[in-house]
Amino acid sequence: MSEEKINHAPEDAAAAAEAELNAKLAKPSLMDIFVRGARKGWNIAIDNIIPNVLMAYVCIKILNVTGLLTLAGKFFAPVMAIWGLPGEAIMVLFSALMSMGGAVGVCMALYNDGGIDERSITIVIPAIYLLGSKIQYLGRLLGTAGVPSRHYPILLSISFLNAGIAMFIMKILTM
């Protein structure tokens, strides 16, 4: 047994170092834990938020330059007025279906252009998340969880209904 130990001394040293590392990993300090989480946040920001928001800003730029934003604003104004929102806010809801970060970007771009105000942002914010990333979640959530596809329409309808009601609640709360 001892012979084995001698023979494997370098490995033992490596194992000891690994054990020490594991011990450190097993009992990280408060700061280590925070930093681990912050690093996750950095990855979310870089991999997800920045590309999505950048795309949203470019989309809004295209809609602005072509005049489609004004057109959509006028066209959807009567519908969005139900929730006390300007017609342009429909773009936030459309983009939310694709990505939540993108919808936040659209919200900011519209705010900077004067298309929506603080109250509109307050009304629409729950809808961004209730409708958020629906297209992705069909696969990532419902597909993974094993929900039969025949139930997708009702699940989508519930999300739309939720968003509609939530915006009503926010409209009342911001009155």
Partner 1 sequence: MDKVKETLNKVPLSGYIVLVIAIAIFSGLFANAGHGLNIFDFDTLNGKFGTMKSAKATFSGQGGSGARDGFLFAFGLAPGVMLAMGLIEVVEHYGGLKAAQKLMTPILRPILGIPGICGIALVSSLQSTDAGAGMTRQLHLEKQITDNELLIFSAFQFTAGGLITNYLSSGSALFGFLTVPISIPLAVLFVMKIFGANMMRAYVKIFCKEAA
Kindly identify the residues of this chain, within the stretch 9-28, that bind partner 1 according to CB under 8 A.
Answer: 28
How long is the chain?
175
The token pair at 67 is 């005049």
Q: How far is the CB of 9 from partner 1 (least distance, A)?
A: 36
Q: How far is the CB of 72 from partner 1 (least distance, A)?
A: 14
Task: Decide if 59 contacts 95 (C-beta within 8 A).
Answer: yes
172 binds partner 1 (CB under 8 A): no
The token pair at 60 is 């809004």
The token pair at 58 is 């470019």
Segment 126 to 165, residues that bind partner 1, using CB under 8 A: 126, 128-130, 132-134, 137, 140-142, 144-147, 151, 154-155, 158-159, 161-163, 165
107 binds partner 1 (CB under 8 A): yes
Task: Decide if 124 contacts 174 (C-beta within 8 A).
Answer: no
The single residue among 13, 15, 34, 135 that binds partner 1, judged by CB under 8 A, is 34
Give kind and range of the element (H or E) at residue 49: none
